[in-house]
Structure 1
Amino acid sequence: MKKMKFIAQKFKMISTCLVVLSVLLLVSCDKSESDSASTVAVLKSPTVITSSSLTSKTASSLGDIGNGVNLQPSYYNNGNCDLGWTLMKQNTKIQTVRIEVEPGQETNAKRWISEAKANGYKVIVSYHKSSVLGSDSASELLAAGTWWKNNYASLGGGFIVNLMNEWGSHNITAASFAAAYNAAITEVRKVYSGSIIIDIPGWGQETAIAACAVKGCATGQTKITDTNIILSAHIYPGAYNQAKGRYMIAADLDDLASSGRACILGEFGSIGGSGADWSGIVDYAKTKGWSIIGWAWAGDGLGMNMITPQFQAFVSGSPKTYTKASYFNTVYDKL
């Protein structure tokens, strides 16, 4: 979700009309954090519509993820969405889709995933519980792991698991982050042996904390024990690295790479606060061979949608027509 010190939540509220799902949790961040957070939260909250140094392995070394775009269809037409494959296939730099799935949308998600694979895309699927984004609740992360155990096979398999979207606040410690992920990963491993994408804490911005959660930065510190993981940062203009006391800079990606694990930018976009050079950071990630995945093909709710109109209702055998939105090239030119 959107970034910076911000408590954002891509709230994708599931009710009719729009809901600002309780604003947010940025509890012990300083004033600039609070300001940025609320800004981004609103920007990424969709309107609900009814009817290095230690060079890390590149993500491509773990399966050639490729660059692509995010889709957030759970909150439109009750999830019964036409995803716009006809237009997407005309824009061949898009190789990968990251699909966010709200629990309760499993039936629709099975179709979304099947269509993405049938159209030749590499698929990442992210468990996305809108009401707990940025949470430090280990029980919520474990619930995500259990959800994967119960649903991976029925969703069709053959995709990369993004265990949970933006779990962990700016304030979580590396040891707590690692301990919670160790428990959740144990559940996922009961049904899935592939690479697991882990969104780093602080809405995808706390690079140093994530690196310490993997390699340990204190004697006897709990570390993430599974080595077949991919660390995912989320980059926006308001991206804030609280551990460093400043907005994110390109060198933060070197910190993440020092973990020795594969790394990607699981989200990036041009809206939401200010202070971080989002464009320069994305370019730097590409020089490191990282896959980058833009926010968003559709489903953002406000300004960061590559296509227009928003997701339309799915009708089998009658694909909907979409056109490029003014924001399209902001993402596509980076891929």
Structure 2
Amino acid sequence: MFISKEKVTSSHSTSLAQVSGFLAICATMLLSSCSKPDDVMPATAPTPSAVDEGVFGNGVNLQPSYYNNGNVNIGWSLMRQQSKIRTVRIEIEPDKVSQAKTWIRDARSNGYTVIATYHKASVLGSDAASELTAAANWWRSNYGTLAASGSFTVNLMNEWGSHSISSNAYASAYNNAISIVRQVYSGSIIIDIPGYGQETRTAADAVKGTNGTRINDTNIILSTHIYPGAYNQGRNRSMINADLDEMGSVGRSCIVGEFGNDSGGYTGANWSGLVDYAKSKGWTVLAWCWNGDGGNMNMVTPAWKNNATATSYSLSSYFNVAYAKL
């Protein structure tokens, strides 16, 4: 079993305060396929805008782990035609190290900044510190292998921490995990804020040490994930612009690591306005997703869920929705 844009997990109930996104079970795609040779040739980096966006250039997410054992054609030639895409965030399941080497190599060869994210679909929203520690140990074991394929920024773990985790527990777990990653990596570390990327108050308190424990490492980047169902349980309401202000007030760089328009049946947050506001604050924004969603948020067609061995792509109707925000 594998996950689409896995915003809803088994830990969710039907309460809006516990639901921040979307989970769909996808069908496993078989057969093997490799990237088309002429689609991964070195290319000139995408043309930057007059003013660079945030910490990185704006861009898109990729979730290739679940399709054809990760052996998919990304469609780099089509992506290179989209000048506003300058960064790719690649979600990597822990058993896909070999495939991730190819994804990172090809992204760098095609001129993109890379964010590499440890992603374990079965534990999204988990408060188990052992899962975050496992992610850190994975990085300690695999960072050197992956970095040999090209430089990237580490996103320590996708969506660790529930809506209900305390700031002290969040900070303590990240202090331990970051100390492990620092044994092999000295660059900026992206950490997803808790509550599936939506508990801005908890993250702010953890960075400031409001409740006693603070995140000690200052070379971190806070990442929020914005969808129509985005909910801030700490404020008992859907996310609003003030939440992004709170997140950005702690003296750390911030990004929107994911955004998209699929509500999964839950609405309340003005996802589009929030993304625009984040951009007005100078934050990098990364669309979900170029390909790999198990639902409707794929910027190209065919989606890997429908054809994991496709060798060419065209832009989908959703492309216009997501790309307009970059």
- Alignment TM class, shorter chain as reference: 0.7 to 0.9
CA positional deviation for 1:31: 2.7
CA positional deviation for 1:217: 1.4
| Counterpart contact for 1:46–1:299, Cα < 8 Å | no
Query: Could you say if the C-alpha distance between residues 322 and 136 of structure 1 is closer, same or farther in structure 2, counting changes exceeding 3 Å?
Result: same
Distance 1:23 1:213 in 2: 24
Counterpart position of 1:182: 175
Q: Does 1:243 align with 2:234?
A: yes
Select which of 128, 137, 143 maps to 1:137.
128
Q: Does 1:12 align with 2:2?
A: yes
The SS at the match of 2:317 is coil
Distance 2:181 2:256 in 1: 22
Distance 2:235 2:74 in 1: 39
Select which of 72, 75, 82 maps to 1:84.
75
Query: Could you say if the C-alpha distance between residues 41 and 313 of structure 1 is closer, same or farther in structure 2, counting changes exceeding 3 Å?
Result: closer
Query: Could you say if the C-alpha distance between residues 250 and 22 of structure 1 is closer, same or farther in structure 2, counting changes exceeding 3 Å?
Result: closer
Counterpart position of 2:37: none
Select which of 176, 198, 202 maps to 2:191.
198
CA positional deviation for 1:192: 0.5
Query: Could you say if the C-alpha distance between residues 22 and 327 of structure 1 is closer, same or farther in structure 2, counting changes exceeding 3 Å?
Result: closer
Q: Does 1:306 align with 2:299?
A: yes
Select which of 2, 11, 25 maps to 2:11.
25
CA positional deviation for 1:21: 12
| Counterpart contact for 1:141–1:181, Cα < 8 Å | yes
Counterpart position of 1:260: 251
Distance 1:32 1:295 in 2: 21
After superposition, residues 264-279 of structure 1 pair within 5 angstroms as: 264-272=255-263, 273-279=266-272
Counterpart position of 1:280: 273
The SS at the match of 1:99 is strand
CA positional deviation for 1:23: 4.8
Q: What is the percentage of aligned positions where both structures have the same residue?
A: 56
CA positional deviation for 1:49: 1.8
| Counterpart contact for 2:200–2:244, Cα < 8 Å | yes
Counterpart position of 1:41: 23
| Counterpart contact for 2:9–2:124, Cα < 8 Å | no
AA aligned to 2:30 is T
Task: Provide the TM-score with structure 2 as the length reference.
Answer: 0.87
Distance 2:241 2:223 in 1: 15
Distance 1:295 1:50 in 2: 24
Runs (4 or more) in structure 1 with deviation over 4 Å come to 20-23
Counterpart position of 2:30: 50
- State the aligned residue count: 300
Counterpart position of 2:35: none
Task: Provide the TM-score with structure 1 as the length reference.
Answer: 0.85
| Counterpart contact for 1:204–1:235, Cα < 8 Å | yes
Counterpart position of 1:4: none
CA positional deviation for 1:22: 9.8
CA positional deviation for 1:12: 3.2
CA positional deviation for 1:334: 0.6
Query: Could you say if the C-alpha distance between residues 174 and 68 of structure 1 is closer, same or farther in structure 2, counting changes exceeding 3 Å?
Result: same
Which stretches in structure 1 are left out of the alignment for 5+ residues? 1-10, 52-58
Select which of 142, 155, 170 maps to 1:162.
155
The SS at the match of 2:172 is helix
CA deviation string 1:219-262 (max 9, x = no partner) = xx111000000000000000000000000001100010111100
Distance 1:262 1:74 in 2: 28
Query: Could you say if the C-alpha distance between residues 46 and 333 of structure 1 is closer, same or farther in structure 2, counting changes exceeding 3 Å?
Result: farther
Q: Does 1:153 align with 2:139?
A: no
| Counterpart contact for 1:46–1:300, Cα < 8 Å | no
The SS at the match of 2:22 is helix
The SS at the match of 1:293 is strand
| Counterpart contact for 2:299–2:318, Cα < 8 Å | yes
CA positional deviation for 1:70: 0.2
Query: Could you say if the C-alpha distance between residues 124 and 46 of structure 1 is closer, same or farther in structure 2, counting changes exceeding 3 Å?
Result: farther
The SS at the match of 1:145 is helix
Distance 2:28 2:321 in 1: 24
CA positional deviation for 1:197: 0.2
AA aligned to 2:114 is V
Distance 1:140 1:247 in 2: 27
| Counterpart contact for 2:298–2:318, Cα < 8 Å | yes
The SS at the match of 1:203 is helix
Distance 1:122 1:22 in 2: 29
Distance 1:32 1:225 in 2: 32
